[in-house]
Amino acid sequence: MATRQLLVLASLLGPAACGGDRPMIQIGPPPPKATTGALAGPLCKDGGCACMSSPEEAGAPQGAGLKRFEIKLGPTPHDLWLTLPGHVLYKSAERPEVCFYVDLPTGSHQLELRASQPDAVAAAVAISELGAQTKSAYATFRFSCGSPGGVCSFQELDGKKAEYQGVKKSTHDPCGSTKIKELVWDTGRSPDHQVPSELAMRFVLQVYKFVPDKPSGDPSCGTGEGRRRRDDAARPPEAEDATPPAP
C-alpha cells in the first residue's frame, strides 16, 4: 500500500496528514536493474559514466539546441532508478553513488526517481545543468531522504514539501535555464508502518532555450540585472555627433 504527497510549487498546500490519515494507493514494481539509453560525453562508456571533477571534463553537446546534464544517484546503499524519455538510469546497491550524463533538448521532460526496499529506503538525486559557455554546474535539483547514513521518513518528506514550496519560480538555481515543475511523490509503507518502503517521485524538467551567461552563485542572478545587461548588449551604439560644438 502507499500514500501520495503532492507538491504544487506555485501554491501553498495544507498540512500533510500523518499516520493512518494518509490516503493509500498502489505503487507498481520498479524498472529492471539495468541502464538503458544513450549517455553523452567523454566520461561515459559501456553503459556507465565516471563522475566529473569539473564541468569541462563532461564536454559539451554537439547538436544544436541541446543541453548537457549530470544526473547523480546516491549516496545510498540501496538500488535507485531514474527514468526519463528514452532512458533508464540505474544505481545498484553495490555502488554508493553513480553519475550519468545526458543531452536534452529544450522543452518539458518527465522524470521519475524510484526506490524500493522491503524494510526502508534511502534515496538521493542531484541534477546539474552544465553551462557550456560559463563552464559552470548549476544546481538544477537536489533531493535526498535518509541519505547519507539513514532511512527516509514521512517526517523528512513533509519537510521537503515545505522546502520546495519556498523555491522562487520553481527555479532551484536562478543562474541556470531549467525549472522543476509538477513534483509529486508516492510512498509505500514498511512492515512496521513507520517509514516508507517504496518511493516514486515524479517531476517535470523544464529546459528553456536561453543559454546561461553567468556562473552558478552569481549574486545578480534572478534580480533582472542579467536581462538588463543582455538588452544593453543588443542595443546598437548611439551614433556620435560628427559636428564639432560651436565655439
Write down the residue that cell numbers 499516520 correspond to: 19
pTM: 0.82
Residue closest to 30 by CA, chosen among 172, 152, 199:
199
233 within domain boundaries: no
Measured distance CA(75)–CA(122) in Å, rounded: 9
195 within domain boundaries: yes
Contact 185, 160 (CB under 8 A): no
187 within domain boundaries: yes
139 within domain boundaries: yes
Q: How many CB atoms lie within 10 A of CB 110?
A: 12
247 within domain boundaries: no
Q: How many helices (H) and strands (E) does the chain have?
A: 2, 13
Confidence at residue 219, expressed as pLDDT on a 0 to 100 scale: 95
Q: Is the pLDDT of residue 6 over 60?
A: no
Q: How many domains, in total, are found in the chain?
A: 1
Average pLDDT rounded to a whole number, residues 106-129: 96
When pLDDT is cut at 50, 70 and 90, the band that residue 9 belongs to is very low
Contact 204, 109 (CB under 8 A): yes
Tell me the per-residue pLDDT of 156-169, one tens digit each, with 9 for 90 and over: 999 999 999 889 88
Give the full edge-to-edge strand order of the sheet including 66-73: 44-45, 48-49, 98-105, 66-73, 123-131, 136-145
87 within domain boundaries: yes
Please tell me which residue, 142 or 245, carries the higher pLDDT value: 142
Domain that holds residue 80: 2-8+49-210
190 within domain boundaries: yes
State the virtual CA torsion across 80, 38, 61, 212 in degrees, nearest 10.
-30
116 within domain boundaries: yes
Percentage of the chain lying above the pLDDT 90 cut: 66
23 preceded by a cis bond (ω within 30 of 0): no
Confidence at residue 190, expressed as pLDDT on a 0 to 100 scale: 64
Measured distance CA(93)–CA(78) in Å, rounded: 5
Please tell me which residue, 173 or 186, carries the higher pLDDT value: 173
